[in-house]
Amino acid sequence: MKRAWILAAALVSGIATAAAFAADAPAKAAAASLSSGEVRKVDREAKKVTIKHGPIDNLKMPPMTMVFRVKDAALLDGVEPGTQVRFRAEEADGGYLVTRLQKTKAK
């Protein structure tokens, strides 16, 4: 009886590990598609942010400083000139739209 319990516990922990691994994979893929940059200017009302960014692989864009529109003004919460960020930008309506933005943790 005791052995059956040990087996069951091993099985459950194995499933939990597999689930955690599966959940981790898309998160890693998403992180890989983020670009890094430094915020230069924030215009919350116009929902615009100026970012001095590194290469943006998904847009095949070299490093530069440019203005992006942001999908949601809330993305700019706590963001100010000098803030280091990682962000996701996409082409939309003939311009560039930031759909995700997170502060880079200070090292």
Binding site for Cu ion (CB under 5 A): 61, 64, 66
Look at residue 83 and give its three-state secondary structure.
Answer: coil
Instruction: Using the minimum distance from each CB to Cu ion, give the nearer residue, 9 or 64.
Output: 64
Look at residue 52 and give its three-state secondary structure.
Answer: strand
Q: CB of residue 75 vs Cu ion: minimum separation in angstroms? A: 17
Spatial CA neighbour of 40 closest among 31, 49, 29, 28: 49
Q: CB of residue 54 vs Cu ion: minimum separation in angstroms? A: 10
- Which residue has the CB atom at the shortest distance from Cu ion? 66
Element (H, E) at 9: helix 2-32
User: Which amino acid is located at 89 in the chain?
Assistant: A
Instruction: Using the minimum distance from each CB to Cu ion, give the nearer residue, 75 or 98.
Output: 98
Q: CB of residue 101 vs Cu ion: minimum separation in angstroms? A: 15
